[in-house]
Amino acid sequence: MKIALAGQYSKASVVRSSDRAITHYALDSRRCVSGSLFFTLRGKNSSGIDYLKEAESNGAVAVLVHTEEIQRALNETSCAVLASDDVFQALMNLATAYRALFPHVRTIGITGSTGKSTTKEAVGKIASALGPTTMTSGNLNSEYGLALSIMNLNSETKYGVFELGIDHPGEMERMTKMASPSIGVLTNIGNAHLESMGSREVIAREKAKIFHPGIEAGFISRHSLYGHLIQTLCPVELIRYSTRDVSAIDLGLDGWQISYQGVSFRIKAVGKHLLEDVAGAIRVGAYLGARPVDIAHALEDFEPLVGRSTVRTSRVTIINDTYNASLDSTRSIIRYLSRLSWSGRKNAVLGPMKELGAESKQAHLEIAKTLIQSTFTKHFLYGREMEEAYQTIKREKGKERVSFTQDFEELEGMVRDEVTAGDLVLLKGSRVVQMERLIPTIERGVALHG
């Protein structure tokens, strides 16, 4: 893209031009490569303007800065300089205009309180079997991530599979404006981000905006809360999906053996909640025109991204479900693993569920009830929000069955000292807690004392 065109699409002023073409877009100076346009966004703790020199040394051919920072950009760089009163809005403008250049691309937008990434990965696998596909990388499901994903479209792209994650009212409208999804998928409505959204109904109404007036088709889980409300807000009749759309044999930690319209394949996804995500992807794939055999080949040995109930096996078996935690997802994996036949001990190591607002206390007590009814041998609870859950379990099960701390190093010591070879360990907590940090501790501890 030429500098002038980038200015036109982003509605930014071209302060200093260049004949070098923009071939890449970056929000982090460390990710700049030859041909990058670097957006100097402002964060809570840092600002992109402080990394102009690093961006240019890594290959940036242009920077887009706030208007009041023009002189600094001119002084510190020799590359092209664009300016806007709002760099974030300029990024949105550029992505929206860029998406409009490819009207032939069928885009699938995926949202929901949980299951977005797994559904996106599975839909992406199927779409890729049908033609060139661009999709959200990893879990970059914010407005920023969506903009960068859109900028990966090209003239050969047939499908765009984008994950749309929101945590504040108004975001979905901006994201659908950018991506203009042809097909929308809503996995479920839960209490994730309840603190900033206010209520589940608000969450449902905001996520339902993925079904914008120009939507071609919409899909929603049969088990989603507020399904009737969401349908009334949708301009098309929603297609409902569930695990009943497939025949599935539970292989435990090896995943599921799925039969769909006469073909069979295995997925490496643990838990019924992930099976439903894959079932939704299958329905979307069939809508796109994929034959059962295409779907089977695309999803054979499919496994979700790391941190979504992924299995790590050594002398101890770890279920890494640390990407995030809500009441629904935490309860689901505890119940699934509780039913799992296991010769050794089962340990639940749980961090807090964040951003639940007024429902936080009750949600953590619900997890305590679920653990009390489970077959887990020992419960390790971490974080202030888990203290009442700890007291509840201690009263019901005894203090030898549950441990609690607000100190991560102390948690490491507790887990290291008690987990032994042959154990099953569930790790789960909200993303900000980074419960996956315990994995090396657990594995080293087992290697040392068996």
Residues 304-363: pLDDT tens digits?
999 999 999 999 999 999 999 999 999 999 999 999 999 999 999 999 999 898 899 999
pTM: 0.92
List the beta bridge partners of residue 262.
Answer: none
CA 24 to CA 11: how far, in whole Å? 18
What are the sequence ranges of the domains in the chain?
3-86, 102-299, 310-449
Distances (CA, A) of 213 to 143, 172, 209, 210: 20, 13, 9, 9
- What pLDDT was estimated at residue 190? 86
The two most distant CA atoms of the chain are separated, in Å, by: 72
CATH class, domain 3-86, is: alpha beta
- Annotate 63-80 with b (16+ C-beta within 10 A) or e (fewer): bbbbeebbebbeebbebb
Mean pLDDT estimate for the chain: 95
Structure tokens, 130 = 């049908």
**By C-alpha distance, which of 348, 364, 345 is closest to 356?**
364
Residues 300-312: pLDDT tens digits?
999 999 999 999 9
CB-facing half-sphere around the CA of 325: CA atoms within 13 A = 29
| Domain 310-449 bears CATH identifier 3.90.190.20 | yes
| Phi, psi of 179, rounded to the nearest 5 degrees | -85, -25
May I ask the CATH architecture of the domain 102-299? Answer: 3-Layer(aba) Sandwich (3.40)
- What pLDDT was estimated at residue 450? 63
